[in-house]
Each structure stands twice: as structure tokens, then as C-alpha cells.
Amino acid sequence: MRHNFRLAGLALVIALFATALIAPGSASARCTTGGMSPAEVDVCTPTAKAKLLDNGMLIPPASAPARVKRVIAAANKIRSKPYIYGGGHARWWDAGYDCSGSVSFALHGGKFLESPLPSGPMMNWAEEGEGRWITVWANGGHAYAVIAGFRWDTSGDSGGETGPRWHEDLRDNVGFTARHPAGY
């Protein structure tokens, strides 16, 4: 009888300790309860960050899924092309790319897109919310992506250069819709 009382007391102490560490409704609590949606799993699982080389090429982390590595490889192929409005929409290989053309090209490399999308339709592409490996941020006038922790964007270079480039710094995403491929 005394033994059962001690076990019940120990269970109560553990439960109280766990409650103090993980507040109900917090992201940590949802991450430990199981039965989560794919979007919740994406938020709960940290992603290894890629490495940006001095030449502007991004090296994916070894732990990245093969499709994410292909997205990064595709983006690297056009990383020094100039910005051209409408570029990348009439054909995959183009003289230059606009914002959504460059994001479309990268996603096509991972077989997430069959044809290019303008920024407006990207607001409804794939799954809602931020992804674990890939998040496309879009509004009616601009699109960019965050892939393995780096921003793939045609704007925001400190030297004033435009065109598809990798950026270490993230940007303000107010006014943008977050979308991601399911499971990524």
C-alpha cells in the first residue's frame, strides 16, 4: 500500500514538473503530444542550415531531403543571371529571371512545379504556412523563398545588384503569404 502511494506521488511530481516546463497550448506542448498535422510537424522539427560560399553558391546540408537538394542545385544554376521582368515565365532557360520566375525555376528543379507561376498565384500554391525546408513568401507583386535557412530572392542586395541570388539575411514578410510543399 505504501509503495503504491509513493508511485502515485512520484507520478504527480513528474506531471507537475512537465506542466511547468511545457505550458499547455505552446508550440512545445503541441510538439510532444503527437497526432499533429504536417504543418505542425514542420514547425516542430528544426532544419539544418545550408552554407553560402563566397562565390554565391549555396551548399545544402547533408541532412536535406534529395528534392530540397535539387531545388538548391537548380537555383545555383541561375544565381548570377540578371533581373528581367517576366524572365523565366515563357521558358525555363532564360537570359534573366524575375522574382517569381526564379522561385519557379528553383521549385521546378525539385519537381514541385511543372510550369512557372506568377507571384499572385503563388499565394495559393501548395500548403498554407511555413515549411520545414522550403517556404515561398508571395503577394500580388513579389515572391521569394526561404530554402534551408537562406533567402532566394531577386531583390535586397547591398551592392544594388538585382537578379536571383542567395541571401543570408531574411526580410520582413509583412503582407506576404507563406506557402510550402507538403512535407517540406
> Does a structural domain hold residue 121?
yes
CB 152 within 8 A of CB 97: no
List, for residues 163-182, the tens digit of each pLDDT value.
Answer: 999 999 999 999 999 999 99
Residues 121, 61, single domain; the answer is yes
> Does a structural domain hold residue 162?
yes
pLDDT of residue 142: 98
CB atoms within 10 A of CB 32: 13
Residues 28, 100, single domain; the answer is no
Residues 21, 86, single domain; the answer is no
List, for residues 124-150, the tens digit of each pLDDT value.
Answer: 999 999 999 999 999 999 999 999 999
Residues 96, 17, single domain; the answer is no
List, for residues 71-107, the tens digit of each pLDDT value.
Answer: 999 999 999 999 999 999 999 999 999 999 999 999 9
Q: Which residue has the cell 523563398?
A: 145
- Partnered with residue 145 across adjacent β-strands are 136, 152
Whether the per-residue pLDDT at 155 is higher than 50: the answer is yes
Give the DSSP letter string of 143-169. EEEEETTEEEESS--TTS--SSEEESS
Radius of gyration of the chain (CA): 21
Residues 134, 170, single domain; the answer is yes
Residues 10, 51, single domain; the answer is no
List, for residues 10-69, the tens digit of each pLDDT value.
Answer: 444 433 333 333 333 333 333 333 444 444 444 444 568 999 999 999 999 999 999 999
Residues 86, 19, single domain; the answer is no
Indicate the pTM of the whole model: 0.75
Residue 157's pLDDT band, with cuts at 50, 70 and 90, is confident
Instruction: Kindly give the pairing relationship between strand 143-147 and strand 150-153.
Output: antiparallel
DSSP secondary structure code for residue 13 in this structure: H
Whether the per-residue pLDDT at 6 is higher than 70: the answer is no
Residues 166, 85, single domain; the answer is yes
> Does a structural domain hold residue 101?
yes
The domain containing residue 96 runs over which residues?
44-180
> Does a structural domain hold residue 39?
no
CB atoms within 10 A of CB 62: 7
Q: Which residue has the cell 514542420?
A: 42
CA angle, 46 as apex, 41 and 52 as ends, to 5°?
135
> Does a structural domain hold residue 38?
no
Q: Distance between terminal CA atoms of the chain? A: 52
pLDDT of residue 47: 63
pLDDT of residue 15: 39
The total of structural domains in the chain comes to 2
pLDDT of residue 160: 81
Residues 155, 115, single domain; the answer is yes
